[in-house]
């Protein structure tokens, strides 16, 4: 091989080696840093979908928790209300004398408070007990002077249904009137309670001796 051919061969080899070196650099750069546009879009789409999935699941969990809390508080309020009403109708007999309860329309609640005739947990606002729904309850002497009338206002429909039915069969209760309707002597059936408790805020009045 003459000098010219040898020089040509060496130049060709150097060019080939330089090409291999450039290809290695491109491969390294591509594997370490560059991301194809299509793959980058797919990655962004997955991230968005994952985020939306987390948000949806979170919203469902929060809604379920809120519903559970509402049911819990609703049930507790109804239980507290039943305790309040049953305590009053049981203890009111301690105010009765041989001649009855006094003049018709007379407030009996103040004397009930004085003798400890209502649960300690019940709030007193302006000297008047308030129920579980922040409404004032009243207890007065009935029209005959020989009995009493307890009025419990501001009850949601579910509470009205439950409390009206349960208290109607209490030994101390003679009659039940819902939202000013006709007095029902004896048991208030579930159907009758559901029909009468048709307001957002219902009122129940019980009478007894």
CATH superfamily placement of domain 83-208: TcpA-like pilin (3.30.1690.10)
Q: What is the pLDDT of residues 157-199, one digit of tens each?
A: 999 999 999 999 999 999 999 999 999 999 999 999 999 999 9
* Predicted TM-score of the model (pTM): 0.67
DSSP per residue, 114-153: HTT-S-TTSEEETTEEE-TTS-B-EEEE-TTSSSEEEEEE
Distance from the Cα of residue 181 to its chain's centroid: 30
Looking at residue 68, its pLDDT comes to 46
Task: Report the chain's mean pLDDT, rounded to a whole number.
Answer: 82
The pLDDT confidence band at residue 35, using thresholds 50, 70 and 90, is low
Domain spans of the chain? 83-208
């Amino acid at each position: 091989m003459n000098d010219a051919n040898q020089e040509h061969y060496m130049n060709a080899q150097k060019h080939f080696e330089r090409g291999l070196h450039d290809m290695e650099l491109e491969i390294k750069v591509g594997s370490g840093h560059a991301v194809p546009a299509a793959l980058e879009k797919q990655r962004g789409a997955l991230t968005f979908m994952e985020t939306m999935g987390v948000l949806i699941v979170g919203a469902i969990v929060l809604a379920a928790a809120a519903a559970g809390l509402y049911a819990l508080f609703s049930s507790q309020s109804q239980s507290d209300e039943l305790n309040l009403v049953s305590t009053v109708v049981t203890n009111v007999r301690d105010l009765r004398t041989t001649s009855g309860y006094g003049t018709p329309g007379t407030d009996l609640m103040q004397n009930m408070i004085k003798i400890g005739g209502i649960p300690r947990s019940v709030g007193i606002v302006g000297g008047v007990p308030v129920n579980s729904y922040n409404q004032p309850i009243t207890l007065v002497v009935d029209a005959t002077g020989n009995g009493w009338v307890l009025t419990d206002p501001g009850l949601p429909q579910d509470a009205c249904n439950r409390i009206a039915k349960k208290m109607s069969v209490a030994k101390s209760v003679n009659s039940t009137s819902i939202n000013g309707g006709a007095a029902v002597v004896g048991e208030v059936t579930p159907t009758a309670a559901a029909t009468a408790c048709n307001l957002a805020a219902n009122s129940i009045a019980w009478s007894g001796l």
